[in-house]
Amino acid sequence: MTHDHAAAPGRAASRPFGRLLTAMVTPFTVDGSLDLDGAARLATYLVKEQGNDALVVNGTTGESPTTTDAEKERLVRAVVEAVGDSARVVAGVGTNDTRHTIELAAAAEKAGAHGLLVVTPYYSRPPQSGLVRHFTAVADATGLPVMLYDIPHRSGVPIETETLVRLAEHGRIVAVKDAKGDLTANSWVTSRTELAYYSGDDALTLPALAVGGVGLVGTSTHFTGALTKQMIEAYDEGDLTTALSVHRRLLPLFTGIFRTQGTILVKAGLAACGMPSGPVRPPLVEATDAEIDQLRADCAAAGLALPE
């Protein structure tokens, strides 16, 4: 596969965090406290059985709005100890307070994280100049590579193309988790920068690859990881027929995992499989019986069995 655009040859092919990452849920015990043993078991399963090259911990899927700073640091340490020799561990540290984000970034680095996921500051709706200031300050604060998280439907503000091009000049800002769903904008950024684009929407992974993306930070990949990686590798090898076939097979679960908030269904599915998950913390609520039945149907439609 060649890259003919004006940016340096091969730039879009760089994969600082591998091809496949899962935004890991945070297991809790029955009483709602942090389950570090469960987190280690789940991380090991995601790397060894589902083929993840890296894991994102303390992201939104990991219920980061409800975990304390101390819990976040302990979780990073536990996951690094469990899988850090065989996969990269990326710590979500983004908040809508630059100072707090820097504190979380420093703590994640100290705990052994290999990279940082930094979401657009939410609710405050800063201008693009504020985003540059925020992301640059966080990237300056540690020696870790940074993945920006562009998700305007949650944050309220997109990271505009020119802002991304400017941020790409920073030596440690190396990747984007894209949940904006604008493949044209992605095309412009990947043609003008070295930023590695990871789809933040499971169902858009294959089309994102076609315009310069390099992989996925997934949610359904708690269950679809091995097959999703097969899809990405098939695309890389030029086997578009196989890539499209796998995409179509997994589409029911790529989309079905978001019938309600993704963490809710991932935890319900993991529990059905006997994997560590535990309850969700409020304001999230447990999956209903009807939602679990639908998840089971979506898994079956994707050719994956969810135990009764």
Closest CA to 110 of 141, 67, 66, 146: 141
Q: Could you tell me which of 104, 82, 81 has the C-alpha nearest to residue 91?
A: 104
Read off the pLDDT of each residue in 159-179 and give the average, rounded to a whole number: 98
Q: Above 70 in pLDDT, residue 174? A: yes
Q: Predicted confidence band at 260 (pLDDT cuts at 50, 70, 90)?
A: very high
Judged by DSSP in three states, 173 sits in: strand
- pLDDT of 308 reads 84
Nearest-angstrom CA–CA distance, 269 and 231: 22
Q: Which residues are CB-contacts of 297 (< 8 A; sequence separation ≥ 6)?
A: none
Residue 5 banded pLDDT, cuts 50, 70, 90:
very low
Q: Is the pLDDT of residue 1 over 80?
A: no
Q: Is 6 exposed, middle or buried (0-12, 13-18, 19+ CB in 10 A)?
A: exposed
Cα–Cα distances in Å, from 152 out to 12, 55, 181? Answer: 23, 22, 10
- With a cut of 80, say whether residue 229 has pLDDT above it: yes
d(CA 218, CA 55): 10
In this predicted model, which residue has the larger pLDDT, 232 or 13? 232
**Residue 173 above 90 pLDDT?**
yes
> How does strand 115-119 pair with strand 88-92?
parallel
For range 191-214, the mean pLDDT: 97
Q: Which residues of 13-40 are buried (b: 16+ CB within 10 A; e: fewer)?
A: eebbbbbbbbbbbbbbeeeeebbbebbb
Q: Is the confidence at residue 253, as pLDDT, over 50?
A: yes
Residue 88: C-alpha distances to residues 15, 17, 81, 145, 292 (Å) = 12, 7, 11, 11, 31
| Predicted local distance difference test score (pLDDT) of residue 9 | 32
Taking only the tens place, the pLDDT of each residue in 39-72 is: 999 999 999 999 999 999 999 999 999 999 999 9
Quick one: 201 exposed, middle or buried, by C-beta within 10 A (0-12, 13-18, 19+)? buried
DSSP state of 122: P
Backbone phi, then psi, for 252, in 5-degree steps?
A: -60, -30
Of the pLDDT bands very low, low, confident and very high (cuts 50, 70, 90), residue 13 is low
**Cα angle 269-274-280, degrees, rounded to a multiple of 5:** 50
Q: Which two tokens stand for residue 204?
A: 């858009």
pLDDT > 90? residue 12: no
Q: How many CB atoms lie within 10 A of CB 165?
A: 14
Contact present, 83 and 43 (Cβ < 8 Å): yes
pLDDT of residue 3: 32
The Cα–Cα gap between 125 and 157 comes to 6
The mean predicted confidence, pLDDT, of the chain is 95
pLDDT, greater one: 276 or 5: 276
Just list the catalytic residues: 149, 177
- Res. 7: pLDDT tops 90: no
